[in-house]
Structure formats: structure tokens, C-alpha cells
Amino acid sequence: MPSARAPRGTRDLLPDERAAFARLESIARDLAARYGYREIETPIFEQAGVIERGVGEATDVVEKELFRLAPRSDERETWVLRPEATAGIVRAYVQHGLQTWPQPVKVSLVGPMFRYDRPQAGRYRQFWQWDVEAIGDPGPAVDAEQIDLGLRFYHEAGLADVDVLLNSIGDGACRPDYVAELTGYFARHEARLPDLEAARLQTNPLRLLDSKDPAMGALIAAAPRIGDHLCGACAAHFAAVRVHLDALGVRYRVEPTLVRGLDYYTRTAFEYYRRGAEGQQQALGGGGRYDGLVEVLGGRPTPGIGFALGLDRTVLALAEADPSAVVAAPAPLAVVVGADPAATVDRLRVAGLLRAERLAVRAELGQRKLGRQLEAASRERAHFAVILGDELADGQVRLKDLLAGTQRTVALADLAGELRRADSRHRHGEAV
């Protein structure tokens, strides 16, 4: 076993797995553009206060999972690696005065996030998310649009069995009274609470509804429901979200115990699960409304909603659903090989001509026999081999279809066009 290894809880994305991520990123970016969300980038580390105030100091993310960076002695700021994207995007919205832009500001980000979490299947300390935010629209139509957008991502990625769980968790007008009733209910049963949940009762009682401890099942089932305590405005908003989802044909299930894990959520909350695979470690992604977060981070009161979808978990889900469907790293269209093992200058020159024509071509730069060069090209799943021999002196090469086993002589000047035509027609298995 090598002594130098990736840090615990992280892993290297080797070419085939990176290709699977790249495919999901491409789907995400295409969907974001179709739905009118523009791309944004924020730093992968933020001032600690941005995350602590935005996410909530009594959340697991802040209490247990932050990667805190040790500052140099001459630095006054303290930083953390971003555990999620919303707080940083809202900070950018406030910092750069995006409230003066036409509202809502709709942005999208794909990138790595970091949480000091216990490594396990589907949970890494560095993980990738697609994040989508709409800031400046009170909904409810934008809520339904985002839920539909996230679901469409999974469908286009190849997961048809994804369900939407939906809830409303109220707002500052109605949630405090509900939390007080919920606290009283669990306090009456405090002797039955596991240690972790007993601590949450003191700091963040709403999170008790999100517990996956089996000992909590009966207590949660009998707990007061927030849906029964919504104020008129929140109830009307939640009803309107469902009307819009019904109009879009989005299937969903109202889940009264769905609360999400961050303090900034208000009203609409939602999560995505593969059918029959619900549980703390099984959510593929989720999001909700955060109508008070802009103000918390120094801006004027501004509504917002967003979601984050885990790319790591999506790749795992795709592999579980159909291992043969996992994308491999792109194969070259052609490999330039040569009868003379030492003629690397010629192979590199011809490959350069084809690359200038925007074709994906690898040059065989090792000095091995032609048979070994062709074997390597086949293992890479290249469609063609461009074989350089004595005919190169007359401006010609041999073009071999590695799938069909046929070949013919082609003028070097026509080679790029021949390869492009063959590629565009998908003439795999036919003579060229």
C-alpha cells in the first residue's frame, strides 16, 4: 500500500469517473441556461461569519462539520471552506449591490463543497454540487419552477425514479409558536430522547423532526405538525406552490416532518429521493426558500429560494441503477500510428494538423512496433487509426477503421475531411 494517499474522506476522480461528473455538469449548465439562470463563481473559502450567521450557529454544519482554516499571525480574518454555496452567493449579492439589478437575480454554480463529515458511502469531505438560486422573487411560481428544474436534471441524467418530498416550515410569523409547542412536546418525553436529540432540544428543536435515529420514530410520528400551525400567508403560499406544481405535472408528496438542516430556510422546503430509498444518507439533493438570509448578511429584506443537488450521489445512483450506463472518458476519434517506430516527428506533425481542424486525435509517441501501436489504439476505443508509412512521402496515409477492420489510402490533404464525415455519419462498422 502506498504511503502517500488522498486525505481521509476525499478521493481522486480518475478519468472515467471525471467523465461522468463532466456529463452531469454539462446537463446542469444546459438546464440552467434553458431556465434563465446565469453562471456565477464564488471563492471556495469564505469569512467564517458568513457561514456561521447564514447557515446558523446551532446547525450540525457549523457545530461539527466546518473546515476552519488557520490564519497566519498577520491576518485578522478567519475563514472556512464553503460547506454549501447559498450563503456565499447571497454574500456576493449583497456585496456587489445586485439588489439594483432587475429582480429576481437567477444564478447557478457548479463546484466543490467541504464538510468535516464522517466518511461513508455517498458522503465525502470534498463533494460536488450543482447550486441554483433565485433572489428577489417571493414566489410561489419560482418555487415550483425550481422544483421542476431539479427534477428535470435527474430525468435528463437518466434517473427516472426520483420523487419530490415537499413541505412548508412557515416563517417568522408562525414558526415561533409552533417551535414552542414542539419543544414542549419533546420536553415531556425528554427521558426517551437519545443524547444527540436531547442536546438538539436545547439548541434547535425543529431538527428533532429530521432525526433518523430509530428510537425517535414513534415520537416523531405523534409530534405536532407544522402544517397545522401555518399562518394564513404561509398556508396560501404553500397551496399556490402545489397548484403550480400540479400545472407542471410534477409529482410530489407532502412530507410533514421535512425541515431541512439549515437555519435560513423559510416556507417551502423540498428534497429529492430515489423511489423507495428515503433516509438521512439517501437524499440526492434539496432546497427551499430563505426569505430572511439577505438581511442576515447585511442587505435589505429580500426573498430568495435555491437548491443544491449532489453530483457524487447522482453518479452513485446512476451506477446502482445501471452499471453499464456509466460514462467512460471520451475516446479519441483517431490515433496516429506509424510503421517506423522511431518516426515520432511525422506522427506528431500529422496529429497537429488534425488537431488544428478541431478533431480529437492522439499521436503515438512511444517507439514500439506498429502492431502494439494499433493494439493500444483499440484499447482506447478509437474509431480510426491513421497509419504513416512510405506513402507519406507522396502525401498519403492509410486510414484504418478499427471497428470494421477495413482500411484505404487517403490523401493527407483530405484526411481531416474524411475523418469529420465519418464521425458525423457515425459510420461505425462500415468501410471508409
Tell me what pLDDT residue 429 has: 42
384-388 vs 334-338, strand pairing mode: parallel
**Which residues have CB under 8 Å from 55's CB, separation 6+?**
61, 62, 83, 84, 87, 262, 263, 264
DSSP characters for 237-283? Answer: HHHHHHHHHHHHT--EEE-TT---S-TT-EEEEEEEEETT--STTT-
68-69 vs 126-135, strand pairing mode: unpaired
Query: What whole-number distance in Å separates Cα of residue 42 and Cα of residue 20?
Result: 24
CATH of 15-174+230-325, picked from 3.40.50.1370, 3.30.70.20, 3.30.930.10, 2.40.160.60, is 3.30.930.10
Q: Do domains 15-174+230-325 and 334-425 have the same CATH topology?
A: no
Tell me what pLDDT residue 209 has: 84
Query: What whole-number distance in Å separates Cα of residue 43 and Cα of residue 217?
Result: 40
Tell me what pLDDT residue 71 has: 76
User: Do residues 247 and 241 lie in contact, with contact meaning Cβ atoms separated by under 8 Å?
Assistant: no
Tell me what pLDDT residue 122 has: 67
User: Do residues 173 and 233 lie in contact, with contact meaning Cβ atoms separated by under 8 Å?
Assistant: yes
CA gyration radius for the chain?
A: 27
The secondary structure of residue 341, as a DSSP letter, is: T
Q: What angle do CA 289, 294, 298 make, to 5 degrees?
A: 160
Query: What whole-number distance in Å separates Cα of residue 28 and Cα of residue 22?
Result: 10
User: Do residues 403 and 429 lie in contact, with contact meaning Cβ atoms separated by under 8 Å?
Assistant: yes
**Which residues have CB under 8 Å from 86's CB, separation 6+?**
54, 131, 133, 264, 290, 293, 306, 308
User: Do residues 41 and 82 lie in contact, with contact meaning Cβ atoms separated by under 8 Å?
Assistant: no
Q: Where are the alpha helices (DSSP H) in 4-73?
A: 15-34, 48-55, 60-64
Buried-exposed string 104-113: b where 16+ CB fall within 10 A, e elsewhere: bbbbbbbeeb
Angle between helices 195-203 and 175-188 (to 10 degrees): 150
Query: Exposed, middle or buried by CB within 10 Å (0-12, 13-18, 19+), for 226?
Result: buried
pTM: 0.86
> Per-domain residue ranges for the chain?
15-174+230-325, 334-425
Residue 197 Cα to chain centre, angstroms: 30
Tell me what pLDDT residue 278 has: 58
Query: What whole-number distance in Å separates Cα of residue 124 and Cα of residue 66?
Result: 13
Tell me what pLDDT residue 63 has: 65
**Which residues have CB under 8 Å from 176's CB, separation 6+?**
none
The CATH H-level superfamily of 334-425 is: Anticodon-binding domain (3.40.50.800)
Query: What whole-number distance in Å separates Cα of residue 184 and Cα of residue 201?
Result: 10
**Is the alpha carbon torsion for 157, 239, 180, 177 positive or negative?**
positive
Which residues of the chain fall below pLDDT 70? 1, 56-63, 121-122, 261-262, 277-281, 325-327, 425-432
E strand map for 329-424 = 334-338, 361-363, 384-388, 396-401, 406-411
Residues in the chain: 432
